[in-house]
Structure 1
């Protein structure tokens, strides 16, 4: 699992090691640890490295007093966050991949999130009933109790991201694809249309938008963070919603691609008010379908 503070610490330590022209193996020998531990630390993963080890490592790299104190502060905050995450890890850890756990840990520290739905409503906006149908399709071998645990996991993610500004975009086709039945889709779309939180925006890319960036994207979420210890800006994180699991992208060219996409989506999508109007219009169509089905079912 990657924590935002440990990620920042790892990135700084890697830069210091490379500036000192030292390999991970040489650094590990200098502090009597394994090269795997140094690698995990630089990747932002939780390790058993002590504060004494970290101080020695900073000295080995020639770091100054301020850099050493910032490194120690990041280590302490990262470890505190790992402890705070113990509860949900115990409840849901067996349902998640390593990238899923990293996403959930990072989401709670994000100040802004942009999510795009190519084929489905973005996960954090899905109603309980909609999500249940999705989970049943993704995990057909699971028991009803296991499906309910997966649904509760999504609700837990939603609660943990309450502080972030969230911008949601989706193709119109994503809300026209029927998940469950017409009544379920009506309820899902009306909930999207009635979203009134000042932190949340929902915008559609309608079918008449022509050739646009949304046609070339898979579903994804880009998380952005504020400055941490030392005031240094933190780079974003991108996760693809790939089937049942999240896929974390950490290559610089991948981040640049999705940053460009996030900049382009507002220019392509309908306004918030026009999106609400279209959502209500489509929901009304589902309402008519539901009423017609109920009438036909009458003896």
Structure 2
């Protein structure tokens, strides 16, 4: 993919969600295409993210066929609008409903994750109570039932790395500060750190100690590199995406030079981390410290 090519991410994600909606409605391509006055191949291209333009009216029509709720319909129309924009990064918050999490859709299809987080335990590794404490602070006005749904979403996301069949490969680099910032009190922290120390073999948790300083010369914010595996022809199933999280809005990077820069940054940070066994030992030691404080 050349540096100036338009992003394929919005339309790939739009196609994925439309395909999932069709399957949830127990409908085939052959059933739906005539209802749209399309060929089966056209509908298939839309679902594969290969159609250069999908009209919002068409998305709305498909959502009616699949009996998709209004919130998701609005989000998918936002993706259709975003898919026509030629740019190398996207902050989707202005076009897509806040309760529609584009990142979760990407993550659920990833074959490999490489994540750097300098402050808190990432959502996919959080215990339920750790997640609830953070959500209560971040969404103070939300009712309890909505906060509980957020915690349950995190638990569902963890199936990606815990499932028995072809779990994703993942490596997480956490700064030692993550172990020391207290979320919910000593008991919550002890359970969370033991959870991190007991990850399955396909998941590597590495701790960057305070003594590592700043190997990049700056303190980078959190980011995730998502790879989507190889197809039957030995090609990338989808271009690698770097997700960069910020308080003001999130970015999704696809340009090869941007992906390469983040890979280099990740590799540099990794060289400053403790190895996995030593990281596990540190996690358990700090967990015991919290247990003694209860």
- TM-superposed deviation, 1:115: 1.2
Give the match for residue 120 of structure 1. Answer: 120
CA distance in 1, matches of 2:116, 2:9: 31
Give the match for residue 253 of structure 2. Answer: 249
Q: Please identify which structure carries the higher helix content.
A: 1
- TM-superposed deviation, 1:256: 2.3
Q: Is contact 2:12–2:49 with CA below 8 Å preserved after alignment?
A: no
CA distance in 1, matches of 2:176, 2:9: 42
- TM-superposed deviation, 1:135: 0.9
User: Runs of at least 4 residues of structure 1 off by over 4 A?
Assistant: 39-43, 47-54, 72-79, 89-100
Q: Is contact 1:138–1:243 with CA below 8 Å preserved after alignment?
A: no
Give the match for residue 212 of structure 2. Answer: 209
CA distance in 1, matches of 2:193, 2:70: 30
Q: Aligned residue pairs: how many?
A: 233
Q: Deviations 1:3-32 (Å, cap 9, x if unpaired)? A: xxxxxxxx79x97xx9xxxxxxxxxxxxxx
Structural mapping, 1:105-184, within 5 Å: 105-160=105-160, 162=163, 163-184=167-188
5+ residue gaps in structure 2? Answer: 16-35, 51-58, 76-91
Alpha carbons of structure 1 residues 91 and 193: separation in structure 2 relative to 1, 3 Å: farther
Please give the TM-score of this superposition, normalised by the length of structure 2: 0.66
SS at match of 2:114: strand
CA distance in 2, matches of 1:116, 1:49: 46
Q: Deviations 1:158-213 (Å, cap 9, x if unpaired)? A: 22454210101100011100011011111111111122x12111110011123323
Indicate the RMSD between aligned Cα atoms, in angstroms.
3.9
Q: Deviations 1:74-119 (Å, cap 9, x if unpaired)? A: 645569xx99xxx9x8699599954963322222221110111111
Q: Is contact 2:118–2:178 with CA below 8 Å preserved after alignment?
A: yes
SS at match of 2:211: coil
Give the match for residue 239 of structure 1. Answer: 243
5+ residue gaps in structure 1? Answer: 1-10, 19-38, 55-71, 291-299
Q: Is contact 1:74–1:229 with CA below 8 Å preserved after alignment?
A: no
SS at match of 2:133: helix
- The structure having more radius of gyration, on CA atoms, is 1
Please give the TM-score of this superposition, normalised by the length of structure 1: 0.65
Give the match for residue 222 of structure 1. Answer: 225
SS at match of 2:210: coil
SS at match of 2:113: strand
CA distance in 2, matches of 1:240, 1:41: 14
Alpha carbons of structure 1 residues 167 and 173: separation in structure 2 relative to 1, 3 Å: same
Deviates more, 1:265-274 or 1:246-255: 246-255
Give the match for residue 282 of structure 1. Answer: 286
